A and B are shown apart, each in its own frame.
Chain A
Amino acid sequence: MNRFWIMSVFAYRQGRQSESSVQQDLVKTTIMNLLCRFFDVTDGRVLVDGVDVRDMDLHQLRDGIGLAMQDVFLFSDTIEGNIAYGDPDCSFEKVEWAAKMADADGFIREMEDGYDTVVGERGIGLSGGQKQRISLARAILKEPSIIILDDTTSAVDMETETLIQHDLKKLNGETVFIIAHRISSIKDADQILVIEDGKITEHGTHDELIAQDGYYRRVFQHQYGEFDQMVKNGKNGKKEGN
């Protein structure tokens, strides 16, 4: 049983977005930890491109994965240095590109010293959303073949999140894992996995899951329950507005 769910998480082909909305967020973070091999599985296997991660070179494996974590840790260095953490010798243009992808370029430029602004340890001096965007840029800069966003946009406001989502869609060929609580963050995924009590209980696209009477639908209704009503009431209003 164990074997099934772990493998199924990673059985997605390159270039597709897989996402999971999870009840116990410790479990989903654990899955990502297993993928990066911060821990080894006690049973079963984790396969990347058909190869057991335990048979791969550890550095090579991690080099191919861009991870933006729940707790953002920044180093007491410049913003540029922080974004370029995974590739310290890269050009400034690349840093700028990554920052733009994470929708961070704008606020970085507004800061006194721009990209040369020194941020304190743990990114003190930046707001939660700003820290998350820097950590996202840091993951994107590596141009990894697998990107893991572990609750990376929770502190970002909705509008910014929409922008980030839009930019992420421009990434081609990468497999993206998104761990999130907001339906809005994961709706467009190729596969949505719902994990409850350490097991995958639902999987499919947004539309498929909405059609089922399960956890996903309950969460959706909680977050957007009144949307149905709004659509009913608002559609007419909107049309008149337009």
Chain B
Amino acid sequence: MARNRINQDEDLEEQFDMGQLMRLASYVGPFKKQLITAIVIMTIASALSMLQPIFMKNVMDTITETNFQHSYSQAEAIRRIIFNSVLMMAVSFICAFITRFKIRLTANVGQGVIYNLRRELFVHLQELPFSYYDDKPHGKIQVRVVNYVNNLSDLLSNGIVNTITDMFSLVFILIFMLYLNVRFTLICLCGLPILTAIVLFVKSRQHKAWQIQSNKQSNLNAYIAESVNGIRVTQSFVREGKNTEVFNELNLDARNAWMNAVKYNFILSPVIENITVITTSIIYVLGISWLMHGDTVITVGLLTAFVGYVSRFWSPITTLSNFYNSLLTAISYLERIFESIDAPVNVHDKEGAVEMPEVKGEVEFRDVCFSYDDGVRILNHVSFRVKEGESYAIVGPTGAGKSTIVNLISRFYNVDSGQILIDHTDISDVTIHSLRTQMGVMMQDSFIFSGTIMDNIRYGNDEATDEDVIRAAKTVCAHEFIMTLEDGYQTQVNERGSRLSAGQRQLISFARAVLADPKILILDEATSAIDTETEILLQKGLQEMLKGRTSFIIAHRLSTIKNASCIMYVDHGQILEKGSHDQLMQNHEGEYYKLYQSQYDFLK
């Protein structure tokens, strides 16, 4: 997959896929009980409310019959009117109570589904390979977990229950309508084919429009996230003006896409409104003329009741069409969410993978070849063996494959061919978790989490006491600078650690590694940002830290690596030279010798 830029839309799925919805339904599964309860009580409520026009009819008929035909005595009529009115009130009251209960139930279901969906997404995101993150701006990933999932909230909480109860109400209404008058019912149903035609016409356009909208929103979000992260660069390069232009464009795109998409959502309800009005008027006109011409079946009460049903008939249809609208909207978000959940995890535990036993520290590369997704070979038949407790330094020009070698040991990627063995066990045969917990990796940019310095060091080992943390910090000479900070170990730092210098961040990550007490340590250019004075101090700590552990050190300052048990010179994915510092320095034609000398070139 090609890397994605901010202003580049991600690929769209062309088809409206019912499969996505079925899949969403499976998330609703665990809440079946609550959902069914909600549907049952709502069905009862809607059935009860169906009786309202009947009560109305009774009242009207009582009045007309008493006035014109004198069928009831005055007292009898009043009794009937009061009786019907009380029933109407009781039904309204029960309905209101049920609705309130339903809202609580459905909100619970909706948020529950979202909670699960978001958790699944996050757990999966954590397992995805680096390449997934390399390929797209992080803002585009965030927007899926936050905004898209939120957008499903309404659909899930109210949508499902309303739709099902509305379908029941439709059936009830039809029954009542047919019971009251067949002719009027048929007139009322004339509107349906028109509505169906419009729905079908709008469907594919609306889906497409919402897909575009979700893409534009994602682009906008990615740009905001990146701008926040890169604010220092932006300000020092005085790009605010240009960036505002870019932002305006993305913002405008998002607005236009929204306006374009939402217009489809607004087509349906006016159409339904019109159909309701038209059918109602037709029924009035026909009903009154039939009444005038002495139709025996039709009464004023019947007419009133029926018109009541007509509006009740179209209102669930409006809800259904709204549901359909939000479904189309939601599907364009669902596609993205499921795409992330389905993204393959390249590096995963083999079937029957076992726990890595406690590592002693022997590491062997056997004829390892490796290339990233682009197919360019980074490592070419690399073999070497590191004994327990040895420290191996890897040197070579930038881009030679040094970092790749150490990344493979932690199994951040799988090898193309060959094997990597730790204590004679192929690392692809053990669980990733048990492997990585026994390794300490320190990289060029050490990541600091927002929290206190204490928390950041303890990240390596949750169970460590404060004393352990301080001891670890002392080992790597971080204690002194931490104590100069205002709140010492309780100083709050943030994600990018902007209150700390690169060297200080590095020291914290060292302390973190010491606390984790791994048997294999990897230092990937971890000392390049540390000043020399600190490095001199650190080197004592480093010796302490390396004692009894196998270590791999990548560094440009050769003073850092001179004491390594073995130094490998790597270039073009192969080990060109290997040996101790003294051995390598013997070969005056060798690459290491040249590299070492080049340090002093400038002094001549």
Instruction: Give residues in A with beta carbon < 8 Å to B.
Output: 21-26, 29, 36, 38, 59, 62-63, 65, 67, 69-71, 73, 75-78, 85-86, 88, 107, 112, 118-122, 124-125, 127-130, 138, 142, 151, 154-160, 162, 165, 181-182, 184, 187-188, 215, 218-219, 222-224, 227, 230, 241
Contact = CB atoms under 8 A, between A and B. Distances in A.
B121 interface: no
A151 B397 contact: no
Given A76-B137, A120-B133, A181 B530 contact: yes
13 contacts: A24-B501, A25-B502, A29-B501, A73-B233, A75-B233, A76-B3, A76-B137, A86-B239, A121-B226, A158-B556, A165-B602, A224-B600, A230-B600
A26 B4 CA distance: 35
B531 A184 contact: no
Contacts of A181: 528-532, 535, 557
Q: 9 closest A-B pairs (Cβ-Cβ)?
A: A129-B398, A154-B528, A118-B3, A26-B501, A86-B237, A67-B236, A120-B134, A124-B134, A25-B501
Most buried by B among A71, A122, A187: A71
Contacts of B235: 36, 38, 62
B526 to A, nearest CB: 11
B233 A59 contact: no
B598 interface: yes
B559 A162 contact: no
A124 B444 CA distance: 12
B602 A188 contact: yes
A155 B525 contact: yes
Identify which of A75, A223, A227 gathers the most chain B CB atoms within 10 Å of its CB.
A75
A158 to B, nearest CB: 5
B133 A151 contact: no
Nearest to B246: A88
A159 B532 CA distance: 20
A157 B556 contact: yes
Nearest to B240: A59
Interface in B489-504: 496, 500-504
Contacts of B444: 128, 155
Contacts of B372: 125
How many chain B residues sit at the interface, stated as a range, is 35 or more
Contacts of B525: 128, 155
A122 B242 CA distance: 20
Contacts of A121: 137-138, 226, 229
Contact of A241 (B5, B230, B588): B588
A76 B503 CA distance: 26
Contacts of A159: 397, 595, 598
Given A142-B237, A154-B529, A165-B602, A76 B502 contact: no
Contacts of B445: 71
Contacts of A118: 2-5
B6 interface: yes
Given A120-B3, A157-B556, A181-B531, A62 B238 contact: yes
B399 A107 contact: yes
Interface in B228-250: 229-230, 232-233, 235-240, 242
B601 interface: yes
Contact of A112 (B133, B239, B376, B556): B376
B603 interface: yes
Nearest to B137: A76
A118 B137 CA distance: 11
Nearest to A119: B3
B441 to A, nearest CB: 15
A158 B599 contact: yes
A5 B54 CA distance: 92
Interface in B363-392: 372, 374, 376
A69 B232 contact: yes
Contact of B238 (A25, A59, A188): A59
Contacts of B595: 157-159
Nearest to A60: B238
A23 B531 contact: yes
Contacts of B76: none
Contacts of B536: 222
A70 B398 contact: no
A62 B236 contact: yes
A63 B444 CA distance: 29
Nearest to B399: A127
Nearest to B585: A230
Nearest to B372: A125
A86 B242 CA distance: 9
Contacts of B2: 118
Given A36-B236, A121-B226, A138-B237, 14 more contacts: A62-B236, A75-B6, A75-B233, A76-B137, A76-B222, A118-B5, A120-B135, A122-B229, A127-B398, A155-B525, A155-B528, A181-B529, A218-B533, A222-B559
Contact of B598 (A86, A88, A158, A222): A158
Nearest to B245: A88
A26 B504 CA distance: 9
A97 B565 CA distance: 42
A182 B137 contact: no
Given A75-B230, A157-B556, A125 B530 contact: no
A234 to B, nearest CB: 9
A75 B238 CA distance: 15
A69 B528 CA distance: 14
A155 to B, nearest CB: 5
